[in-house]
Every structure is written in C-alpha cells, then in structure tokens.
Amino acid sequence: MLNHKTLLITGGSGSFGRNFIAHILSTFPQVKEIRIFSRDELKHYEMQHYFDWGKHPSLRYILGDIRDFNLLADAMEGVDYVIHAAALKHVQMGENNPMAFIQTNIIGSENVIRCARQHKVKRVVALSTDKAAAAVSLYGATKLCADKLFTHQHNNNTIFSVVRYGNVMGTSGSVIPHFKHYTKKGFIPLTHPDMTRFNVTPQQSIDFILYALVYAQGGEIFVPKLSSFKVIDLASAIAPDVPTQIIGLRAGEKLHEEMITITDAPYTIENDHYYVIVPFYKDLTHYITHYKAKSVASDFYYSSDKNDSWLDLEDLRALLF
C-alpha cells in the first residue's frame, strides 16, 4: 500500500526510524517519498550516511520539532500516511522535567492530529508505550493523554489509531545497551530481582505498525501478543560471568510491564496475534467482525508477569547472539 505514496515519520531519525525505513525501502521499492521529521541534527546526519547519501532519492530529511505547528504543517503537505514516533521517553527525565514532556508528548501530538486533519492525511498511526497503561510516571501520563487524543478523533478523511508496546530489544532506549555498558564496570545493576518485561524485536514492531496502518478502522489501540522474560535472565544471557547488583526501583518505574488494564477489558477484543482496545463509543460488534476476533474475559488484564508465553535463558541467548 506504500508504493507511489508519501509517508512522514515524526521522530524518524532514531533507531526505530532506521529499521522501519530500511524495511519500507526493501518492501515497497516504488514508495514515492519518505519524509523523516526530527529535531536531532546529528541523527539526521548519521542517517544520511547510513542509507548512503544520494542513493535513495525518496528519502527527505526535515529538521523540525512537533511543537512547532507551522513547520510541521508545511512538512505534512501532500502526505498520505503518518507514523508518529516523536516523543520524549526517558522516565527519569520526565520526573524532573514535566513541562518539557507535556509540551512534546501532549501538545506536540495534538499538533500532529491538527496537521493531519488539515491536509487530509489518509491514515495516522501513533506509537504509544506500555507505561501509558495504569500510568505511574509523568512520561506514562503524557503518553496516556496522547493516546486519548488519537483515539477520540471523529473524522471521515483521516483514520487515527495507536499501537502500544514496550521497549524494542536492542534499540537505544532498551535495557540491553545499558547492561552491556555496565559489564565494563564489573557488574550489572538490577532494580528488582523479580522484574519482568515483554519482548519486542525490531521486526515485530515494524510488522505491528504496518498491520495497524492497513487494518485500522479508527480509534483503536493495538497491543501485540508477546512473550515475557525475567530481566535477571536477560542479564545472565548478556554476561553470565558478571555479577548483578540490586539498586531498587526508581521513581516512576514498574516492577512488571502492563499493556492492558482490567478497566479496559469490556472494550478489548482479541484474535490470534493481537489485542485491540476499541473506543467505548464505538460498536464493538463491528470490530469483532472486522478483526475476526472475540471479546476477552471481564476480569482480563495483560501484564508481563501474567503471561502464557515465556522466554527462558536459552531463548534470550538465541535472540542476542
């Protein structure tokens, strides 16, 4: 569906953008244009060299901030699809800099919505986070607000949807580079020995976003069915001979990763690969038919410690190496 189309990716100069764009270029060789909208000049420069400057004429690098409505509106002119990945994401930074997170994650997201509606963009997929479910951090709270903005759009010209998953394994925001850094210091810091997380690979995240881009009806939050792992096992898989050091939970940090709360259960449906949280004001039966899905139990919730699928030590080693 992306051949002969123009795609804009906000926050597209990071590790997600690099993986996603590489996939698009190989899968949709006739894509008209991919606009990479990001305020990080250095990452733009690095990405230009990563994709061999001049080799991909469909790539357009736009230096800009989603907080700047006019600049974003200019960048979105003539765009068919938008992937909204721009956000401030580090939990600790959010606790210490709340207004910066509010301005980017909430006001910036509203700017994306307004620009998309103004230019009659066909579809917008916004990237969310597990931290928006039962939010306890400022970061999670701002992403919950952004999710609400995207899922409450009533517009026949543009279809808005949200995808929710955790940190992608191996990317700059994941715990793997953090653990590898500390192995040089002779220990790996763990906040809690019982901590669990969901596993998301870069390819899973790409497939997930494209699924939402194709199938969204409007207002959904898509949540993938994933395997869980114990963080202490991940540390052992990375460096089996390096000792761990328990440092305690940090402000805004959860012991387990939550994707869907029990409050969302009445509006949640599932098929073989995904959960879909449907807006309360929508007809649930339509979505059940469209996704060939069924309703979840009334007491359902989706958390990394309550999962049927787990990765053991050997599974994690296979993914890492």
pLDDT tens string 211-238: 999 999 999 999 999 999 999 999 999 9
Q: Is residue 172 scored above 70 in pLDDT? A: no
Task: Note the pLDDT tens digit of each residue in 37-68.
Answer: 999 999 999 999 999 877 899 999 999 999 99
Rounded Cα–Cα distance for residues 66 and 59 (Å):
19
The reply to whether the predicted model has a pTM over 0.85 is yes
Q: Which of 197, 224, 171, 211 is nearest to 18 (CA)?
A: 171
Residues contacting 202, CB < 8 A, separation 6+: 15, 16, 19, 168, 169, 170, 171
Gap between the Cα atoms of 34 and 59, Å rounded: 5
Residue of 43, 89, 131, 143 with catalytic role: 131
CA–CA dist 16, 295 (Å, integer): 31
Kindly state the tokens that stand for 81.
């699809």
Q: Which CATH superfamily is domain 6-167+199-225+258-303 in?
A: NAD(P)-binding Rossmann-like Domain (3.40.50.720)
Q: Is 131 a catalytic residue?
A: yes
What mean pLDDT is predicted for residues 175-184?
A: 87
Q: What is the DSSP letter of 3?
A: B
Give the residue extent of every domain in the chain: 6-167+199-225+258-303
* Confidence bin at 169 (pLDDT 50/70/90): confident
